[in-house]
Amino acid sequence: MDTHSLPSIAAVIAAAGFSRRMGHFKQLLPWGSSTVIRAVVGNLHTAGASPIVCVTGHRAAEIVAALEGSPAQILPNPHYTTSEMLTSYQTGIAALRTSQLTIHNSDFVGCLLALADQPHIPVTVLRQIIEQAQSTPDRIVIPSHAMRRGHPIYLPCRLWNELLGLPAHASLRTLLDQHSAEIGYVDVDTDAIRRDMDEWGEYERLRGEFDSDRNVKREM
């Protein structure tokens, strides 16, 4: 298939949180030669997502500085102090539908809803999700490992209005449950899609595994 004819897949990263459970602001923690949030953006970009929207809240100015020169376009979530992650996704999707962003490819058919604390997901896995979304652009696409869901989740444009209409106390799961028959799963060979960095120990383990894998690749 001609890759130039494939539809574009955007991405929205929810990066507005306080990292209360972690005790450290995880978006700006070291990751490889960069930071967690910049690695997330870089992986999505390398996998082919475009445009990429990073929605900020807590310590927004520092995230803006950390992403300087990256492919991400950054938007503030005005409700981040009183709401959950859903409003960050709503902020990003609302911007994709309007003129708030500088978009060079407006032919995207949906977007990945990504977490800000999963820099460890391999680019190859992100590509799997994007390729499935390009093949079935009107279906929800969710990565799965050992019969368990993970992230990022692809949401087609046709469901954006429904997401935007959810009340602040709802969650993405609310929408997924309403459209469970329209979900296509992508089986991946890693549990990285189900792991994140809510606690310090999880960050240390994931960073250690990442550094170890990187060193092995250097020695090959």
13 close to 112: Cβ distance less than 8 angstroms = no
CATH code for position 151: 3.90.550.10
Give the integer Cα–Cα distance in Å for 39 and 209.
Answer: 15
100 close to 77: Cβ distance less than 8 angstroms = no
Neighbours of 98 (CB within 10 A): 8
Residue 150 resides in a domain = yes
Q: What are phi and psi of 57, to 5 degrees?
A: -160, -90
Q: Are strands 148-149 and 140-145 parallel, antiparallel or unpaired?
A: antiparallel
Residue 88 resides in a domain = yes
Residue 90 resides in a domain = yes
Instruction: Report helix, strand or coil for 142.
Output: strand
Provide the residue range defining the domain that includes 193.
6-219
Residue with tokens 């459970």: 21
DSSP string, 60-121: HHHHHHHTTTSSEEEEE-TTTTTS-THHHHHHHHHHHTTTSS--S-----EEEEEETT-TTS
Residue 192 resides in a domain = yes
Type of residue at 34:
S
Residue 99 resides in a domain = yes
Q: What are phi and psi of 19, to 5 degrees?
A: 60, 40
Structural domains of the chain, count = 1
Give the integer Cα–Cα distance in Å for 27 and 25.
Answer: 6
| pLDDT at residue 4, as a whole number | 56
Residue 41 resides in a domain = yes
Instruction: Report helix, strand or coil for 149.
Output: strand
With a cut of 70, list the residues of the chain below it in pLDDT.
Answer: 1-4, 99-106, 214-220
What residue spans of 136-199 are helical by DSSP H?
160-164, 172-178
| pLDDT at residue 101, as a whole number | 65
Burial of 130 (0-12, 13-18, 19+ CB in 10 A): buried
Give the integer Cα–Cα distance in Å for 78 and 7.
Answer: 31
Residue 1 resides in a domain = no
